[in-house]
């Protein structure tokens, strides 16, 4: 793949993941607003998401979208504000992506497991 094609597709992925994130954030905030009515407890959260396949799927999509979107944005910031080379920013981007996936799925799987 040419670097031009890679840059362009990466830009597309960043935009597409932003669109997915916009929906995810709306769902997430709506659930928070509704759930917090009358107070919220850990037990209640575990009761809702624990063992629930739809929530597992939703938060998996959420984590993947963040893992695609945030590193691309971070790389642009590093390119504009630091003198790091393209190779360095690529590796930082990859590392942040893996980090977000790792932490995100740890939380998602952990919450799912509460219902088991």
Partner 1 sequence: MSNDTLTVEIWRGREEGEFQTFQVPRMASQTVLDIVTYVQRNLDPGLSYRFACRVGVCGSCAMTVNGKPRWTCRTHVDKVAGDGTLRIQPLKNLPVIRDLAVDMTEFFQKWTRAQAHFVPTATRGDDFAQVSPDDPRRKEASAGIECINCGVCYSACDTVAWLGDYLGPAALNRAWTLVNDERDGGQAARLKAIAGAGGCQSCHSHQSCFELCPKHLNPTAAIAGLKRATVKAALKGEI
- Binding region for partner 1 (CB under 8 A): 2-5, 7-9, 11-12, 76, 79-81, 86
Distance in angstroms (rounded) separating the CA atoms of residues 55 and 46: 11
Name the minimum Å distance from CB 72 to partner 1: 10
Q: Which is nearer to partner 1, 11 or 91 (CB)?
A: 11
109 φ, ψ to 5°?
-70, -40
Distance in angstroms (rounded) separating the CA atoms of residues 39 and 35: 8
Distance in angstroms (rounded) separating the CA atoms of residues 109 and 112: 5
Q: Which is nearer to partner 1, 9 or 36 (CB)?
A: 9
The two structure tokens encoding residue 27: 């769902």
Name the minimum Å distance from CB 31 to partner 1: 31
Q: Which is nearer to partner 1, 9 or 27 (CB)?
A: 9
């Amino acid at each position: 793949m040419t670097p031009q094609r890679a840059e362009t597709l990466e830009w597309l992925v960043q935009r597409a993941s932003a669109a997915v994130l916009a929906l995810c954030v709306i769902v997430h905030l709506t659930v928070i607003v509704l759930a917090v009515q009358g107070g919220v407890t850990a037990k209640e959260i575990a009761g809702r998401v624990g063992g629930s396949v739809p929530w597992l799927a939703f938060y998996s999509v959420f984590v993947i979208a963040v893992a695609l979107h945030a590193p691309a944005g971070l790389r642009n910031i590093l390119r504009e504000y630091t003198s790091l080379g393209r190779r360095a920013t690529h590796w930082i981007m990859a590392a942040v992506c893996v980090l977000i996936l790792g932490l995100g799925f740890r939380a998602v799987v952990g919450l799912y497991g509460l219902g088991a």
